[in-house]
Chain A
Amino acid sequence: MTLWIAVIAASLLSLATKFAGHLVPEHLLEVPWVERVVPLLTVALLSALVVTQGFLDTDGLPTLDPRAAGIGVAVVLLLLRAPFIVVVALAALTAALLRLWT
């Protein structure tokens, strides 16, 4: 039930954000420091998520496990300009194979 509420809340807030951009008068959103912080906010959140998804255990402590190997493979593939879906799939395969063999 809580999850349903969260799913609906996140969806409605996403819609509200998109509509606000189209409807709110420009001068309310065109604040220089806000315009600088928002793109950096995207970078900061995505980077924080790399840490929580890749390098933390269930207690929030740093750990290195097959996920880290998957991330390593992902970085190499990104350097080679591989498409998103290939990066994600081969990262998964790397971690799956490591777990199978160890």
Chain B
Amino acid sequence: MTGATAYPRQWWKTPAAREGLAVGLVGLYGVSAGALGVAAGLSVAQTMLTSLLLFSGGSQFAFYGVIGTGGNPLAAVATSTLLGLRNGFYGLQLSRLLEPKGWLRPVAAHLTIDETTAVALAQETPQRSRIGFYVTGVMLFVVWNSTTLVGALAGEAMGDPRAYGLDAAAAAAFVALVWPRLFGRGAHGRTGPIATAALAMILTLVSAPFTPTGVEVLVGATAALVVGLRDRGRPDAAATEPTEPTEATA
């Protein structure tokens, strides 16, 4: 299993590579990231920097969202970072599975997001996991960044983002990102995620009039602590797979 000789000569014809290419195409929605970044008030360069360096769709949308509603930049950084914490837990699983060496370690770390983790964990052997992970990651990175640029340039040319419904697009993006975590194949636990979502929405609604813009999101985030710690010690809570990513979300 070690060394390049163990790999099939035509690795790009393997099912893992094909799956990676298909999932990588999900990166086409980078066009919405580009448009929403610029609509939120970021420059094209700032939007591109988030796609290149932050490179985690959910966190990017969260950052644009808080900034776009006139929120505190510190709240935007905090929301984006908290939303990206799951990538750290994916990394824990992936470093064991992929065992990247040398220059591949920082590459593997940077490519550690929902889609790449989902493809890597779905393979039957570590070798196929590596093929699936890197094909998905490189494909996504290229597609995501090129479509972000297209979206950002288009967004800049459009003018008033509200006239094009881009504020509704931002809201819909969060609905689409949370959806598979509530009802999808990768959704874990039974009532936990739905209870968390409901409580988070209530806390956000109630605190919003009294908190600086952007901070109400962090108040809503405490729902995760309330529900997560409530389940402590329950036998069924241990049986869930908490760090399993859902597919087709970034």
Contact = CB atoms under 8 A, between A and B. Distances in A.
B178 A91 contact: no
Interface in B74-101: 74, 76-77, 79-92, 94-96, 100
Interface residues of B, number: 112
Interface of B: 26, 28-29, 31-32, 41-42, 46, 49-50, 53-56, 58-59, 61-63, 65-67, 69-70, 73-74, 76-77, 79-92, 94-96, 100, 105-106, 108-110, 112, 162-179, 181-182, 188, 192-193, 196-201, 203-205, 208-211, 213-214, 216-217, 219-225, 227-229, 231-232, 237-238, 240, 242-244, 248-249
Main secondary structure of the interface of B (DSSP, over half): helix
B81 A20 contact: no
Given A22-B109, A58-B70, A7 B83 contact: no
Contacts of A59: 209
Nearest 8 pairs between A and B by C-beta? A21-B91, A48-B220, A70-B168, A91-B172, A95-B168, A95-B165, A54-B171, A92-B165
A68 B34 CA distance: 22
Given A7-B50, A13-B84, A46-B178, A32 B224 contact: no
